[in-house]
Each structure stands twice: as C-alpha cells, then as structure tokens.
C-alpha cells in the first residue's frame, strides 16, 4: 500500500465512484464510495486528497485505471471512520468487474 496526494478529477455521487489524478497513479486511481473517509462520505471534483492505494493486478486493470484507492480523505485531514452506507444498491468493483451485489 502506498500513500499519495492527488486531486479528484471526477466523482459521481449517485454511482458511488470516481477518479483521482496523481503523478503516482498514471491513468487515474479508482475511488469507491466505501473507501471515502470524510465527514460527508463524499468528494467533489477538484478536491485535493490524501489516499492510500494499490496497483490493480494486470488481469483486472480497467481501461483507464491501473490502481484503486483503499482509503481517501481530504488533504491534510486525519483519518475518520467511514460514514454509514447511504445506499447498499450502489455498484461496487469486486473481482475485476462492476457488480450490484456485495
């Protein structure tokens, strides 16, 4: 696991995923709602964030993503526990594919 600082380039609240741009994660780093540690439980495009991430195995790399965030928080903020799940029906990236089931 590696820690980096980056900027949210896209975050779709209703879909529960987004992208962090960082020099350390070329091609973008995938964010999932379950890994966001902010008081609101969400992010906005343009937010500067600190994030722990890991590279995705070659067999599950998405077209645009080579890495996935394990924990995301606003830049400089202490880690906070994740907020309660807003909607369990949001898609999740599991086993190399998007799914509606956990």
Q: What percent of the chain has pLDDT over 90?
A: 44
| pLDDT, average across residues 27-32 | 90
- Structural domain boundaries, residue 67: 2-99
Question: Is residue 73 a contact partner of residue 79, using CB atoms and an 8 Å limit?
Answer: yes
Band of the pLDDT at 85, cuts 50, 70, 90?
A: low
- CB atoms under 10 Å from CB of 96, counted, come to 12
Give the torsion sign (CA, 37, 92, 22, 44).
negative
pLDDT at 80: 58
Domain count, the chain: 1
CATH number of the domain where residue 13 is located:
2.40.50.140
CA angle 5, 73, 63 (to 5 degrees): 65
Would strands 29-32 and 67-74 be described as parallel, antiparallel, or unpaired? parallel
pLDDT at 78: 77
**Residue 10 corresponds to which tokens in the numbers above?**
């896209």
| pLDDT, average across residues 14-19 | 91
């Amino acid at each position: 696991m590696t820690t980096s600082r980056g900027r949210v380039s896209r975050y779709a609240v209703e879909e529960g995923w987004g992208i962090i741009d960082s020099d350390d994660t070329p091609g973008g780093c995938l964010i999932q709602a379950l890994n966001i540690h902010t008081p609101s439980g969400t992010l906005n495009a343009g937010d500067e964030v600190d994030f722990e991430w890991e590279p995705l195995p070659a067999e599950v790399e998405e077209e645009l993503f080579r890495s996935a965030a394990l924990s995301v928080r606003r830049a400089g903020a202490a880690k906070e526990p994740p907020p309660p799940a807003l909607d369990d029906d949001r898609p999740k990236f599991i086993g190399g594919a998007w799914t509606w089931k956990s």
